[in-house]
Chains A and B, each alone.
Chain A
């Protein structure tokens, strides 16, 4: 089973700042990497798939990138509504495994 490691566990940012979240896969997942946003009391929402493709309706301030087995989710100009948990997930191999999540707090 592929292990996904996310960092940091918590990130605190001011509105308007950039937030950078990382995710590392224990082995190659090609570009089969997704990012999800989960707000309190809600189901997860797909933000990014294929490592860098924004899902339908996702604002342009969210972007994804990859370098080997290292993946990054960047939120440019964080808004108050971006307060949430962010999970990465590989879907290269079954079972598609999730990281433990990174919490974004707004200062």
Chain B
């Protein structure tokens, strides 16, 4: 069974930093692109960024580019999201997501971890 479990969320003041983790199991982690998608409370979904299987190629949304960095440790089956210079508008539930089905979009989601940016 595919499992994605995020951790590391919490309350952080504006300008602060936080690192989220996502531990994957049930599939060959090192073969697949990995993604972070976020959802502010009561609002819609935003694809934050993605990282290729080897960790050498990434894409970010305009809203986080230059502040957020996605990385991975394939030996530990773990994906990371390093978030710097956090803003109030970064407050959201952050999902770790992957695509295992050819030509599909995002087909396996973790339950999410909540990041609250507030003073």
A residues lining the B interface (CB < 8 Å)? 1, 32, 34, 36, 42-46, 49-50, 53, 55-56, 87, 89, 91, 94-101
Given contacts A91-B105, A95-B59, contact A43 B47 (CB under 8 A): no
- The range of chain B's interface size is 10 to 19
- In the bound complex, what is the Cα–Cα distance between A56 and B104 (angstroms)? 11
Q: How far is the CB of A87 from chain B (nearest CB, A)?
A: 6
Q: Do residues A97 and B104 form an inter-chain contact, with CB atoms below 8 A?
A: no
Contacts of B112 in A (CB 8 A): 43
What 5 A-B pairs are tightest by C-beta distance, nearest first? A34-B105, A43-B109, A49-B104, A98-B45, A91-B105
Q: Is the interface of B mostly helix, strand, loop or mixed?
A: loop
- Contacting A34 at CB < 8 Å: which of B59, B61, B62, B106? B106
Contacts of A34 in B (CB 8 A): 104-106
Q: Do residues B44 and A101 form an inter-chain contact, with CB atoms below 8 A?
A: yes
Q: How far is the CB of A3 from chain B (nearest CB, A)?
A: 12
Q: Do residues A46 and B104 form an inter-chain contact, with CB atoms below 8 A?
A: yes
Q: Does B111 sit within 8 A of A, measured CB to CB?
A: yes
Q: Is the interface of A mostly helix, strand, loop or mixed?
A: loop
Q: How far is the CB of A53 from chain B (nearest CB, A)?
A: 8
Q: Do residues A55 and B106 form an inter-chain contact, with CB atoms below 8 A?
A: no
Q: Does B103 sit within 8 A of A, measured CB to CB?
A: yes
Given contacts A56-B101, A94-B59, contact A46 B107 (CB under 8 A): yes
Q: Do residues B101 and A43 form an inter-chain contact, with CB atoms below 8 A?
A: no
In the complex formed, the residue of A with least CB distance to B109 is A43
- In the bound complex, what is the Cα–Cα distance between A39 and B85 (angstroms)? 32
In the complex formed, the residue of B with least CB distance to A87 is B45
In the complex formed, the residue of A with least CB distance to B103 is A50
Q: Do residues B103 and A49 form an inter-chain contact, with CB atoms below 8 A?
A: yes
- In the bound complex, what is the Cα–Cα distance between A55 and B99 (angstroms)? 12
Given contacts A46-B107, A55-B101, contact A98 B59 (CB under 8 A): no
In the complex formed, the residue of B with least CB distance to A101 is B44
Q: Of residues 34 to 53 in B, which have CB atoms within 8 Å of A's CB atoms?
A: 44-47
